[in-house]
């Protein structure tokens, strides 16, 4: 869609709100230092009292200003790893829809693509009132993502750690996580001492072995809830949990939603299945 640029940033001396939209990240990712003039302009607008906002990957540009150092932000969960590597001083929360930080609450970031709705509604509520924000939400059928983004996030275990022994355990676990006592089985197969295995697994993946197993099981349960009509108790058994009550608690702790609510939210509608 062609966009007509009406004014250059060099012509704008002050403004109230700056919104950086999603930016396209190529295969090489975000290139730091590519837009020095724009970064300097953003700093000046901030010094003049402007609120700086980003949608999705737009926070990569705002992070260049240094204003987010030691502050919190969010970004699309698919970009979280790359963002953390480039800007380790920023505290990133990819599971959150909207993060407001800064001494004046002037730094606003929204996460996955459609959470820009939440950012826009927040800005309307903040500057024009909650009643108007609700009216806009109704008019355009917008919804606040009040459950956060954890239900949308797909777990993918880290495999770029370079530990061949642990990578072999992960590969085996991908096809055997429902079995009884999978952690003990991994340890036996690895030929490592239990403490050594657990230490190396946690260092390599960022998760303890039991937490890693739980994430794989919950991810499989999510797919089953989305694509089948099987009872929750049966799905609990299929992914490795005999105690359905424990499975329900773990599922909600991991995704932020109960299994039934998750199924209602994410299952394919009947009219689309054909």
- CATH of residue 75's domain is 3.40.50.880
**What is the percent of the chain where pLDDT is above 70?**
99
110 close to 54: Cβ distance less than 8 angstroms? yes
What local confidence, expressed as pLDDT, does residue 187 receive?
Answer: 92
Q: Which whole number is the average pLDDT over 150-173?
A: 87
For residue 133, pLDDT beyond 70? yes
Nearest-angstrom CA–CA distance, 217 and 247: 10
**Whether residues 203 and 121 fall in one domain:** no
pLDDT tens sequence across 222-245: 999 988 889 999 999 999 999 999
Question: What global pTM score does this model have?
Answer: 0.74
b (16+ CB within 10 A) / e for 195-234? eebbebbeebbebebeebbbbbbbbbbbebbeeeeeebbe
User: Domain containing 207: what range?
Assistant: 164-270
Looking at residues 20-45, what average pLDDT do you find? 90
pLDDT value for 1? 84
Q: Within this chain, do residues 192 and 72 fall inside the same structural domain, yes or no?
A: no
Task: Please determine, for residue 165, whether its predicted confidence score (pLDDT) is greater than 80.
Answer: yes
Q: Is residue 3, in this structure, part of any structural domain at all?
A: no
């Amino acid at each position: 869609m062609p966009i007509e640029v009406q004014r250059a940033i060099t012509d704008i001396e002050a403004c109230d709100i700056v919104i950086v939209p999603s930016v396209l990240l190529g295969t090489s990712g975000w290139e730091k230092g590519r837009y020095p003039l724009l970064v300097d302009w953003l700093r000046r607008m901030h010094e003049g009292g402007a609120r700086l906002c980003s949608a999705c990957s737009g926070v990569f540009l705002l992070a260049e200003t240094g204003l987010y150092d030691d502050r919190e932000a969010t970004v699309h969960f698919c970009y979280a790893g790359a963002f953390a590597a480039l800007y380790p001083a920023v505290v990133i929360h990819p599971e959150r829809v909207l993060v407001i930080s800064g001494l004046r609450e002037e730094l606003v970031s929204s996460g996955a693509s459609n959470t820009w709705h939440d950012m826009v509604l927040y800005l309307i509520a903040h500057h024009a009132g909650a009643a108007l924000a609700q009216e806009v939400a109704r008019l355009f059928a917008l919804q606040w993502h009040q459950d956060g983004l954890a239900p949308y996030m797909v777990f993918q275990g880290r495999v770029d750690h370079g530990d061949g022994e642990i990578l072999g355990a992960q590969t085996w676990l991908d096809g055997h996580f429902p079995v009884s006592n999978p952690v003990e089985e991994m340890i036996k197969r690895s030929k490592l001492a239990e403490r050594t295995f657990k230490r190396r697994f946690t260092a390599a993946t960022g998760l303890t072995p039991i937490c890693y197993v739980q994430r794989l099981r919950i991810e499989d349960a999510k797919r089953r809830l989305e694509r089948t009509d099987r009872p929750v108790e049966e799905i609990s058994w299929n992914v490795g949990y005999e105690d359905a009550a424990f499975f329900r608690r773990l599922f909600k702790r991991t995704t932020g939603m109960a299994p039934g609510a998750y199924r209602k939210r994410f299952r394919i509608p009947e009219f689309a299945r054909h």
